[in-house]
Amino acid sequence: MPRLRDLGDAIGSPYLQQHADNPVDWYTFDDDAFARAEELGLPVFISIGYSACHWCHVMAHESFEDPSIAAYLNAHFVAIKVDREERPDIDAIYMEAVHALGQQGGWPLSVFTTPAGRPFFGGTYFPPTARPPRPSFSGLLEAITNAWSTEHETLLGQADELTDAVTQRLAPPDAEGATRPHVAQLIATAVTRFTEMFDPEFGGVGTAPKFPQGPMLELLLRAQLRGDDRVLPMIETSLAAMAAGGSYDHLGGGFASYSVDRRWLVPHFEKMLYDQATLARLYLHAGVATGDQRWYQVAHETIEYVLRDLRAPSGGLYSAEDADSEGEEGLFYTWTRAEIIAALGEEGAATIFAWYGELNPPNFEGGRSILTRPLRAPLARPLEVEAQRSRLLAVRSERVRPARDEKVLTEWNAMFASMLCEAAAVTENINWQSAAEEIAAFIDREMVRSDGRLLRSWREGRAQHLAMATDYAWTVDLFTRLNELTGRSSYLTRAKEFATAMVTLFGAEGGGWYLNGSDEEGLILRPIDSYDGVTPAAGSICASALARLGALTGDRAFRDRAAATIDAATTGLNASPIAFAHLVGAAALVDEGAIEIVVGPGAEPLLPVIRQRYLPDAVLAWGEATDSPLFLDRNEAKVYLCLHGSCRLPVADAASLGSEIDLVLSR
């Protein structure tokens, strides 16, 4: 039997390792576990979380480490533990079941199923004693045990109904007969909807909790490029507020996953690699689009945080840092006035207090404070502030750090490295280019099985779990952007290989994308991943990656598959384009065509002119020629700009190139 406690070093997930010694007899998500439940005639309890999840730790300490609760759970259920970061397909299915029950999702996710894996009840965190409206976990276990015994057929019927509902909610979209508006209309509608939700004082959307909405804000940047004068104040307010508040780590760089308040003051302190990738890209794009140095600074510090604190010796990037240290949330990141004075002396502390606030009264729990900046204050630090900030960071580095999730995920690594390619191109930072290439080499070396199948998760020399559509899509995007960054044709060849496999494994009839592959077994259904959240959905990044690759290679099949994805989402796009923010960007590439820029041999000195412009719909071909039609008869030391098969006159100087780019953008 695949019990956690018996697997030892074979457990690749730090989250699962955290639970291996629980008195709960945890199983991995495996056919054997469900067969065991069938054999014993017991329901299944599935607990889903991740290592940096604060409330997952709370429920573990309160319930899963309690001998009496564990004994009851072991006697009446088969208990399965899942790391959602390793198996987002499992998480998607059972999270949708909780949503179908009318409940708000989140983690820890707690779901009860039949021995066939069909859910009949679920929720998130359950306390050890009742806190209305939440029942106690022990009381819930007893109620389900009694119902399983006395109302067995009713529960099986509920499981069938709920599974049918989940299947419908996660089915390929039906867009037959629907007409999709032009991409310009989609962007305008999305901006209008964002304006309705926008918080004009503190940026972002809603009140609390507040999550950074990278894909939404990226869409606003596109609207700004198109001349929509509504969006720049919303972009700048949002970026400034996120970077000023405690959600941003003012000493070490990088962002916490979300803010528990409207002002971005108090974060949930966990730091996830995907947030760093998404937000560094957003701030980088904002810097390029507006020329505002504040946004470059935030992007730079976020990148450096990841490369300093999340970089594995193997070349990959670790997944996350926890919110807690020494059993206390935020302890690593927060300060008292006395601690700062002790670290810097009165004079140095006065400099810090003048810049970050007096910390009096404290702004966090236990008399501690989070360093923040006033909302619209400058971010660029004077030399005297920078000197004291560096000293304070050094002192903080001596503290007990939050636990680090040292598994390497293909999706998040490719996402971050893709962003690094853009950042290296804009800044000409050779270290960032080297880091991006190292991550790509790690993926190719460690995450590809001998038969060519990409895997998702790696830890301590061992890769496991079949890669999802998002792993493949971001890997395609990474290798495509590496080709644009370096001019090396081998990267484009690899991108095409991954893209071809991606279409075969994950493409759904009608244009959508399954999250898990056709070779994945043991699940009650294959979920479709369509809606963008804090990161793009599988459908969105598959479409955008294929659209870019198709434009660079001239392979019409890639472009057509991207177009089919957008067409399949027509009903959703019509209803709420803001829920498909990244997909709308892909639609711009497909519907309006990519701006094709070819830099002929000898014209490489003009590359910075191109790279330091905000051109989200441009593809760049240069360096080693491929069989792409973009290179056909492009042998002079000039730059060629084309759109929809119509080309401008080639240019050979920076001023003319800038003017030609302006003309193409005004199309």
Least confident of 231-245, 307-321, 597-611, 631-645: 631-645
pLDDT at residue 175 is higher than 70 = no
Confidence of residue 9 (pLDDT cuts 50, 70, 90): confident
How many domains, in total, are found in the chain?
4
| Mean pLDDT over each residue of the chain, to the nearest integer | 95
462 and 525 both lie in a single domain: yes
**Over pLDDT 70: what percentage of the chain?**
99
List, for residues 626-659, the tens digit of each pLDDT value. 999 999 989 999 999 998 778 899 999 999 999 9
What are the phi and psi torsion angles at 131 (to 5°)?
-135, 85
**176 falls within a domain:** no
Examine residue 133 and say whether the peptide bond preceding it is cis (omega within 30 degrees of 0).
yes
Per-residue pLDDT, 133: 87
How would you class 456 by CB atoms within 10 Å of its CB: exposed for 0-12, middle for 13-18, buried for 19 or more?
buried
Six token digits for residue 64: 């899963």
**527 falls within a domain:** yes
Per-residue CA distances from 289 to 230, 283, 497, 571, 655 (Å): 15, 10, 33, 31, 19
How would you class 116 by CB atoms within 10 Å of its CB: exposed for 0-12, middle for 13-18, buried for 19 or more?
middle
Q: Are 170 and 92 in contact (CB under 8 A)?
A: yes
460 and 570 both lie in a single domain: yes
Domain final residue, candidates 592, 622, 642: 592
478 and 555 both lie in a single domain: yes
Q: Are 112 and 84 in contact (CB under 8 A)?
A: no
428 and 525 both lie in a single domain: yes
Per-residue pLDDT, 132: 87
pLDDT at residue 176 is higher than 80 = no
Helix (H) or strand (E) holding 455: strand 455-459
Q: What sign results for the dihedral spanned by CA atoms 416, 394, 297, 372?
A: positive
What CATH number corresponds to the domain at position 190?
Answer: 1.50.10.10
pLDDT at residue 506 is higher than 70 = yes
142 and 271 both lie in a single domain: no
416 and 467 both lie in a single domain: yes
Q: What sign results for the dihedral spanned by CA atoms 373, 374, 379, 381?
A: negative
Per-residue pLDDT, 489: 98
List, for residues 161-171, the tens digit of each pLDDT value. 999 999 999 98
Q: Which residues contact 185 (CB under 8 A, 6 or more apart)?
A: none
Closest Cα to residue 381, out of 302, 293, 309, 308? 293
Domain final residue, candidates 374, 399, 424: 399
**149 falls within a domain:** yes
**Over pLDDT 90: what percentage of the chain?**
90
**577 falls within a domain:** yes
pLDDT at residue 1 is higher than 60 = no
**178 falls within a domain:** no
Per-residue pLDDT, 613: 96
Helix (H) or strand (E) holding 557: helix 556-568
Beginning with the edge strand found earlier in the chain, give each strand of the sheet holding 618-621 in spatial order: 618-621, 595-599, 639-643, 646-647
User: What is the pTM (predicted TM-score) of this model?
Assistant: 0.96
Per-residue pLDDT, 564: 95
Q: What is the DSSP letter of 403?
A: P
Q: Which residues contact 544 (CB under 8 A, 6 or more apart)?
A: 477, 536, 562, 582, 583, 585, 586, 589
List, for residues 380-423, the tens digit of each pLDDT value. 999 999 999 999 999 999 999 999 999 999 999 999 999 999 99
Helix (H) or strand (E) holding 477: helix 469-486
- Side-chain-facing half-sphere of 648: CA atoms under 13 Å: 24
pLDDT at residue 526 is higher than 70 = yes
Per-residue pLDDT, 3: 86
Six token digits for residue 409: 């995920």
Least confident of 1-10, 108-117, 144-153, 545-554: 1-10
Residue type, 563: A
463 and 508 both lie in a single domain: yes
Domain containing 347: what range? Answer: 333-399
Q: Are 486 and 420 in contact (CB under 8 A)?
A: no
List, for residues 44-99, the tens digit of each pLDDT value. 999 999 999 989 999 999 999 999 999 999 999 999 999 999 999 999 999 999 99
Domain final residue, candidates 379, 399, 419: 399
548 and 501 both lie in a single domain: yes
Six token digits for residue 225: 């490029």
191 and 248 both lie in a single domain: yes
Mean pLDDT of 493-511: 96
Mean pLDDT of 563-581: 93
Q: By three-state DSSP, how is residue 302 classified?
A: helix
CA gap 267, 370 in Å, rounded: 9
More confident site: 529 or 288: 288
CA gap 305, 357 in Å, rounded: 23
What CATH number corresponds to the domain at position 149?
Answer: 3.40.30.10
Closest Cα to residue 533, out of 55, 82, 87, 88? 88
pLDDT at residue 2 is higher than 90 = no
412 and 535 both lie in a single domain: yes
CA gap 108, 110 in Å, rounded: 6
416 and 555 both lie in a single domain: yes
Six token digits for residue 323: 């919110």
What pairing do the DSSP bridges indicate for beta strands 595-599 and 618-621?
Answer: parallel
CA gap 539, 1 in Å, rounded: 36
45 and 159 both lie in a single domain: yes
Angle between helices 273-290 and 231-244 (to 10 degrees): 130
How would you class 635 by CB atoms within 10 Å of its CB: exposed for 0-12, middle for 13-18, buried for 19 or more?
exposed
Six token digits for residue 355: 């810049």
CA gap 339, 368 in Å, rounded: 10
**253 falls within a domain:** yes
How would you class 438 by CB atoms within 10 Å of its CB: exposed for 0-12, middle for 13-18, buried for 19 or more?
middle
Helix (H) or strand (E) holding 412: helix 410-427
Closest Cα to residue 660, out of 571, 588, 599, 577? 599
CA gap 153, 141 in Å, rounded: 18
CA gap 482, 498 in Å, rounded: 14
